[in-house]
Chain A
Amino acid sequence: SQQGEEDPQALSIQEGENATMNCSYKTSINNLQWYRQNSGRGLVHLILIRSNEREKHSGRLRVTLDTSKKSSSLLITASRAADTASYFCATESGSNYKLTFGKGTLLTVNP
């Protein structure tokens, strides 16, 4: 069963705008990760946030984590057409070396 669920399923914005995607999960986690997938390609790791962290930045990416609400958000600032991709959250729980992925948000950035 899916641990993480992204919202919205699809998002279309104009270049230069900010894009926000959300992820909700069900059980306690060790960390939460965000991955990007360009059409027809494998997933690429973007950022990891641990359960004791509340916010993390990497370039134009900002991730927040609210463990009390079991939710995370990914903000992409000043979006570019090249940011067009599917974005997945993935959670790790326990000590079993596995990630559980959500179904993804399809982001389209229009030039």
Chain B
Amino acid sequence: QSALTQPASVFGSPGQSITISCTGTSSDVGGYNYVSWYQQHPGKAPKLMIYDVSNRPSGVSNRFSGSKSGNTASLTISGLQAEDEADYYCSSYTSSSTPSVVFGGGTKLTVL
């Protein structure tokens, strides 16, 4: 149950697009289309932004999109806004030993 690898920080300016990567293995990200992305503002609970690699829950802005290639999933935020500044976590289903969920270490997005 090793954590997925995310960059510690990403920076962007309002209106720009950024991409956050999430690298795992063939036992998790690469093996299943069950990657989710969560946004967490300071002192708040996480919020589901993307599920099943690229699907957005109702109410989530279409500025958020997800994709996957091999063992790496990506979250792209277009038209950056100040309120997008938050921590972002990816997660994936894995059944390498027993079924479980593994999270990435998190990425701090700063909107300059």
- The answer to whether A binds B is no
Residue numbers of B with Cβ under 8 A of A are none
Residue numbers of A with Cβ under 8 A of B are none
